[in-house]
């Protein structure tokens, strides 16, 4: 098991600053995910760890060894690619054995490792097949077995599931995590799929514009985002431009979005007037209790039935707000044009500085 330490890493492609001041400490045996939109630099960071790119500044350590000047083929990392990258003219066995032959391991050892790797990914019995006779999921299993067979110090995954259909993606992500945990191998996983990241990771680094925005366990990233980018990129969220107004007592402050008035937590908002109020659809409570705080009523514009929830888009006071009705029963999908009454609990409200995007909150929450 190998830890990875990255300090002050910067990478440029000509004028473009692809990675800026990256600092990460990935623990032994951890499943660590780089999550961000297309072009944010996550693949560049993965390839820099693998040694395919050389950083312009900063240091990378694998298990305490400074590897800045160690070429890719001597870093002993296993890479699993998006397009599987299996050799089409070789059988499953030959594909998995390839890296071991290159390393000139004895035949007996090669056989032992290939068999073990194929067992790990549930591909026993497929040794003699060529990739054209395998499904996409099976080809990716070959890719995973090949990466594991070399017994790498770390496994690196570059969007390995994005070519698979939705059902297989879910199956494979569970398998990848199970194998990684069973072997106790450190994994760095790149994805732009936030749900995949939440499910598969021990910790996530959210990346945007070549910078790390936040590092934390999935729960922390989702429930405690440090800025507006993280809040909107991970999970669904309502975000309204607001002007912060007077103190309402009890730790609350007025937030005005056009004609809509909210009471929101005041802690940390001192000195800020232009802000963004955000809350997640699942936090909204449907209620007819007229006395509640932040009670609103909107006109239903559209509904989407998602199986476990009905997502409802409401129009009110010039704003659009999405709320959810959970575990819908027959007749729980109202017709558009209906009025829907709901309340937004103040404790579910995130406030962000409109200018910087930084979360404004109580000190102890930091
Ligand atoms: P995606 O999910 O689309 O692969 P990403 O987050 O992995 O995106 P990168 O591939 O790391 O993003 O790219 C980061 C930035 O660096 C992008 O603007 C990209 O165009 C640029 N870039 C990446 N590789 C190179 C290269 N070899 N030469 C020049 N520019 C590059």
User: Which residues have C-beta within 8 Å of that of residue 137, sequence separation ≥ 6?
Assistant: 164, 168, 171, 172
Tell me the CA–centroid distance for residue 208 and ligand 1, in Å: 12
Q: Looking at ligand 1, which residue's alpha carbon is closest to its atom 26?
A: 13
Please report, for residues 75, 92, 209, the alpha-carbon distance to residue 115 in angstroms, rounded to integers and kept in the order given.
24, 11, 42
DSSP conformation class of 335: P
Tens digit of each residue's pLDDT (9 = 90 or more) over 321-336: 999 999 888 888 889 9
Instruction: Report the pLDDT averaged over residues 80-108.
Output: 90
User: Which residues have C-beta within 8 Å of that of residue 101, sequence separation ≥ 6?
Assistant: 110
Across the chain, mean pLDDT equals: 93
Please say if the pLDDT value at position 194 is more than 90: yes
Tell me the CA–centroid distance for residue 19 and ligand 1, in Å: 10
Q: Looking at ligand 1, which residue's alpha carbon is closest to its atom 18?
A: 39
Atom of ligand 1 nearest to the CA of 53: 27
Distance between CA atoms of residues 165 and 163, nearest Å: 7
Q: Looking at ligand 1, which residue's alpha carbon is closest to its atom 16?
A: 18
Q: Which of 18, 54, 207 to probe ligand 1 with, by most ligand atoms within 8 A of CB? A: 18
Tell me the CA–centroid distance for residue 167 and ligand 1, in Å: 28
| 73 burial type by CB count under 10 A (0-12 exposed, 13-18 middle, 19+ buried) | exposed
pTM: 0.93
In this prediction, residue 292 carries a pLDDT of 78
Atom of ligand 1 nearest to the CA of 43: 7
- Residue 172: name the closest of 189, 152, 153 by CA: 189
Tell me the CA–centroid distance for residue 197 and ligand 1, in Å: 20
Q: Which of 11, 13, 14, 163 to probe ligand 1 with, by most ligand atoms within 8 A of CB? A: 13
Query: Quick one: pLDDT band at residue 364, thresholds 50, 70, 90?
Result: low
DSSP for 25-50 reads EEPTT-EEEEE--TTSSHHHHHHHHH
Please say if the pLDDT value at position 91 is more than 90: yes
DSSP for 143-181 reads HHHHHHHT--SEEEEESTTTTS-HHHHHHHHHHHHHHHH
- Give me the sheet containing 154-158, strands edge to edge: 77-80, 154-158, 186-191, 31-35, 203-208, 211-216
Tens digit of each residue's pLDDT (9 = 90 or more) over 264-283: 999 999 999 999 999 999 99
Q: Looking at ligand 1, which residue's alpha carbon is closest to its atom 5?
A: 39
In the chain, the domains with their CATH numbers are 4-230 (3.40.50.300), 236-353 (2.40.50.140)
Atom of ligand 1 nearest to the CA of 34: 6
Pocket of ligand 1 (CB under 6 A): 13, 16, 18, 36, 38-44, 192
Tens digit of each residue's pLDDT (9 = 90 or more) over 6-44: 999 999 999 999 999 999 999 999 999 999 999 999 999
User: Which residues have C-beta within 8 Å of that of residue 230, sequence separation ≥ 6?
Assistant: 206, 213, 214, 221
Tell me the CA–centroid distance for residue 43 and ligand 1, in Å: 7
């Amino acid at each position: 098991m190998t830890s990875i330490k990255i300090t002050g890493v910067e990478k440029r492609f000509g004028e473009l600053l692809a990675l800026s001041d990256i600092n990460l400490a990935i623990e032994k045996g951890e499943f660590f995910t780089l999550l961000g939109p297309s072009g944010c630099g996550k693949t560049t960071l993965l390839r820099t760890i693998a040694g395919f790119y050389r950083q312009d500044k900063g240091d990378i350590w694998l298990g305490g060894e400074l590897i800045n000047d160690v070429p890719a083929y001597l870093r002993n990392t296993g890479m699993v690619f998006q397009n599987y990258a299996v050799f089409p003219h070789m059988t499953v066995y030959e594909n998995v054995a390839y890296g071991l032959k290159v390393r000139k391991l004895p035949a007996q050892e090669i056989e032992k490792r290939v068999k073990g790797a194929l067992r790990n990914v549930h591909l026993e019995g497929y040794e003699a097949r060529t990739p054209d006779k395998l499904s996409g999921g099976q080809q990716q299993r070959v890719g995973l077995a090949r990466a594991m067979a070399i017994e790498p110090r770390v496994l690196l995954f570059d969007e390995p599931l994005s070519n698979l259909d939705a059902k297989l993606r879910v199956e494979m992500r569970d398998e990848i995590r199970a194998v990684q945990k069973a072997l106790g191998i450190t994994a760095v996983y790149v994805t732009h799929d936030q749900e995949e990241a939440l499910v598969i990771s021990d910790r996530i680094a959210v990346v945007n514009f070549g910078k790390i925005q936040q590092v934390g366990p999935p729960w922390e990233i989702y429930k405690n985002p440090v800025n507006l980018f993280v809040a909107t990129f991970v999970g669904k969220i309502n975000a309204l431009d607001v002007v912060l107004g007077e103190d309402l007592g009890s730790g609350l402050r007025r937030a005005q979005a056009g004609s809509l008035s909210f009471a929101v937590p005041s802690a940390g908002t001192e000195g800020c007037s232009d802000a963004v109020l955000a809350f997640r659809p699942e936090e909204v409570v449907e209620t007819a209790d007229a006395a509640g705080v932040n009670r609103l009523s909107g006109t239903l514009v559209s509904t989407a039935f998602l199986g476990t929830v009905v997502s409802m888009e409401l129009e009110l006071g010039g704003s659009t707000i999405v709320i959810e009705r959970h575990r819908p029963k027959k007749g729980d999908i109202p017709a558009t044009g209906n009025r829907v009454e709901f309340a937004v609990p103040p404790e579910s409200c995130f406030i962000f500085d409109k200018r910087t995007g930084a979360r404004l909150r109580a000190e102890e929450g930091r």
